[in-house]
Structure 1
Amino acid sequence: MTHETAQSLIDQLDSLLDDERCALLDGDIEAIGALLKRKEGIIDAMNAQKPSDQADMTKVQGKVVRNQALLDGALQGIRTVAGRLAALRRVRRTLETYDKTGRKSAISDVIDHKVEKRA
């Protein structure tokens, strides 16, 4: 491959990383998934080049690090939300109280969702 092709791939990756950053900041998970497939294709094409044909990657290295930090933050946020939703489900299923000595006790399945029909 020629140097122009390698540079073209780097330019494509650079543009894609900018798009990925915007999607991360907007919280557009679907766009991030679509961009991932494009990014994989560009990286595969870059890996197929001979080492002597690979262009300087320092231009996009900072963007890759920046986007990785944004992805890590997004994943942490998703984990936090999932934990909070699990806690809310747990609260709906149990009632936690304290006895006169201060020990916590839980009463599970307080709410019975059955309907009894009588004739």
Structure 2
Amino acid sequence: MAPETATDILQALDDLLEQERCALLTGDLDQMAVLLDRKTDLIDTLNALEPEQQPDLENIRGKVMRNQTLLDGALQGIRQVAGRMAALRQLRHSFDTYDESGRRHTIEGAVVRQVEKRA
């Protein structure tokens, strides 16, 4: 059953923002995609209401801002993990070290494996 009144829509959006918060706190990024579609539908429904029917959104503004902060933190964490993984991949290929005078030396780490075919 789809919400019909502005109050129903607002309550559904409020509930959805709580679910979004839980998904962000637990790192359930798959759930975030599902919630985004539902949130978009609810917001579109709110926007389709006549101006005199549109509710005051101040009550949920704080939840939206809270979730945005959590989402920003999650994205920052994902970027940091991606950067760390790239650094670890780089270590497989080479390792840079410095001598006492500050000159860099590269130690190659990748072993090239070749298969020789014989008839």
Same fold (TM over 0.5): yes
- The interval holding the TM-score normalised by the smaller chain is 0.7 to 0.9
Matching of residues 8-87 of structure 1 within 5 Å: 8-87=8-87
TM norm structure 2: 0.87
Counterpart-to-counterpart distance in 2, 1:23 and 1:84: 24
Q: Figure out how many residues of one structure are paired with residues of the other and give that number.
A: 115
Which aligned runs of 4 or more in structure 1 are off by greater than 4 angstroms?
116-119
Letter in 2 for 1:87: A
Counterpart-to-counterpart distance in 1, 2:115 and 2:46: 67
Cα RMSD, aligned residues only: 1.9
Describe the SS at the equivalent of 1:50. coil
Letter in 1 for 2:14: D
Which consecutive residues of structure 2, in runs of 5 or more, have no partner in the other structure? none
Task: Quote how far apart the aligned CAs of 1:118 are.
Answer: 9.3
TM norm structure 1: 0.87
Q: Which has the higher helix share?
A: 1
Counterpart-to-counterpart distance in 2, 1:74 and 1:118: 49
Describe the SS at the equivalent of 1:52. coil
Letter in 1 for 2:7: Q
CA-to-aligned-CA distance 1:66-94 (integer Å, 9 cap, x gap)? 00000000000000000000000011111
Which consecutive residues of structure 1, in runs of 5 or more, have no partner in the other structure? none
Q: Which has the higher contact order (CA 8 A, sep 6+)?
A: 1
Task: Quote how far apart the aligned CAs of 1:5 are.
Answer: 0.8
Aligned sequence identity (%): 50
Task: Quote how far apart the aligned CAs of 1:28 are.
Answer: 0.4
Describe the SS at the equivalent of 1:51. coil
Counterpart-to-counterpart distance in 2, 1:118 and 1:38: 57
